[in-house]
Structure 1
Amino acid sequence: MARPSKYSAEFRSDAIALWRASAGRRTFRDVAADLNVTPETLRTWVRDADRPPAAAGASRGTEAELIQLRAENARLARAEKRVAVGAGDTAPGSGVSRPGDEVKTAAWGFVVSAHAEMFGIKRICQVLEVSRSGCCRWIAGARARAERQLEEDVLVKEIREIHAEHRGNYGALRVHAELRGFGHTVSRKRVARLMRKHAIVGRHLRKKKRTTVSDRLAPPVADLVQRDFTTCALDEKWCSDITYVQVGATWLYPACVIDIRSRRVLGYSMAPHMQGCSKVLAGW
């Protein structure tokens, strides 16, 4: 038989209400210290209050199955954390990174802001569940990051000068070659990253649009005028052609028939595909 609790039901209810009123702004440790109870006791009360009540008259088999399912869910949750994306990555600010090259996280930026004077770094790190030692290392690396940022600004200035000197034609490859020629030991990927970050783009050839795909197996069309486009009378020779015009987000294919002598348009047609115009021209 379980030992009766020394805390009344009313006290436990008030403790749970106090924790819920904090809306996550305070930890179990802080609320428990105000109530003079242990954090694990308060956590157990909250967990029991959030647990849905068991159905009346439930059999022992059903309760045992619920316990087994909860244990299985807990095991799967722990396994999911181990295989999550980035679960095996090193912690920010760890010894794997070179000195002063720690990752700037939003949490650490929040810690070192004005909130640190009000709540203290230790308490904020506990609430945000981040490493206090990592935050201290990030603060210590501020000088190294500032020096690298200054070096990067100087490099970007030289990239802009090279880009402007060649009238905006050079891309990352040629800019990198120019920098190496001036004695800079910088990688091509870093140059490409800085140019992409500061919107420095070189000129490149446009992709050619292919509009005619000939059928090699189809018989060639007979040349009825034998490439002779001279004429002395009207309606002696007609010619036609198809072109394409972009209208909004689609393409239209107009086709026309003209008289070679007068250059007068005898008829025209327009369709959203080339086959429709071809049928009209075949009818002429």
Structure 2
Amino acid sequence: MPTRVLVEYIDEHRDRFGVEPICTALTAAGTQIAPSTYYAAKTRAPSARSVSDAATTTLIEKIHAENYGVYGIRKVHAELRRQGHAVARCTTHRLMRSVGLQGVSRAKGPRTTIPGSGPDTRPDLVQRAFTATAPDQLWVADITYC
């Protein structure tokens, strides 16, 4: 389990149980975390990647909103490059996915059969009895492939 998740969990319950007992219980459950790891994670400055990601995510959200939410990864990445921000396309993809942004696709969805709304005018000639007592008495065909 990532340290970030463990730190958030400890933060939620530290007032009730304390840091050391929570770390002991987590270690007994198979998740190794020491109290010193928790305190180090709390006092550590944010990483360069997280700071950069936060700034880039703000720009991506702005570009996406300015273009009515229709720009996808390719166009958002191109717009970032035009504005002078050197961001990799995979980073743009990762950040857009993390905040739930996606473009609008021109492709049509899957075409399915739309059933008719009128009455079924075909008569049921065999009254749903599909068994015959001898050969060549009842012929049934399946036209679902049409």
TM-score range, shorter chain: 0.5 to 0.7
1:43 aligns to what? none
Structure 1 residue 134: Cα displacement: 2.6
Structure 1 residue 113: Cα displacement: 4.9
| Match 1:190 to one of 91, 99, 102 | 91
Instruction: Please say which of residues 172-181 and 131-140 is displaced more in the overlay.
Output: 131-140
Q: Percent same amino acid among aligned pairs?
A: 27
TM-score by length of 2: 0.57
User: Is the 2:72–2:104 contact (alpha carbons within 8 Å) kept by the matching residues of 1?
Assistant: yes
Bigger Rg, structure 1 or 2: 1
Q: Deviations over 1:59-89 (max 9, x none)?
A: xxxxxxxxxxxxxxxxxxxxxxxxxxxxxxx
Q: Deviations over 1:230-284 (max 9, x none)?
A: xxxxxxxxxxxxxx52xxxxxx2589xxxxxxxxxxxx858xxx937x7xxxxxx
Question: Aligned in 2, Cα 1:269/1:201: closer, same or farther, shift over 3 Å?
Answer: farther
2:24 aligns to what? 126
How many residues are matched?
Answer: 120
Matched ranges for 1:35-114 at <5 A: 103-106=3-6, 108-113=7-12
TM-score by length of 1: 0.33
* Higher relative contact order, chain-length normalized (CA < 8 Å, sep 6+): 2
| Match 2:101 to one of 168, 184, 200 | 200
User: Is the 2:26–2:33 contact (alpha carbons within 8 Å) kept by the matching residues of 1?
Assistant: no
- Give the AA of the match of 2:143: Q
1:169 aligns to what? 70
| Match 1:178 to one of 79, 82, 88 | 79
More strand by share: 1
CA distance in 1, matches of 2:66, 2:8: 39
Give the CA RMSD over aligned residues: 3.8
1:157 aligns to what? 58
User: Is the 1:172–1:191 contact (alpha carbons within 8 Å) kept by the matching residues of 2?
Assistant: yes
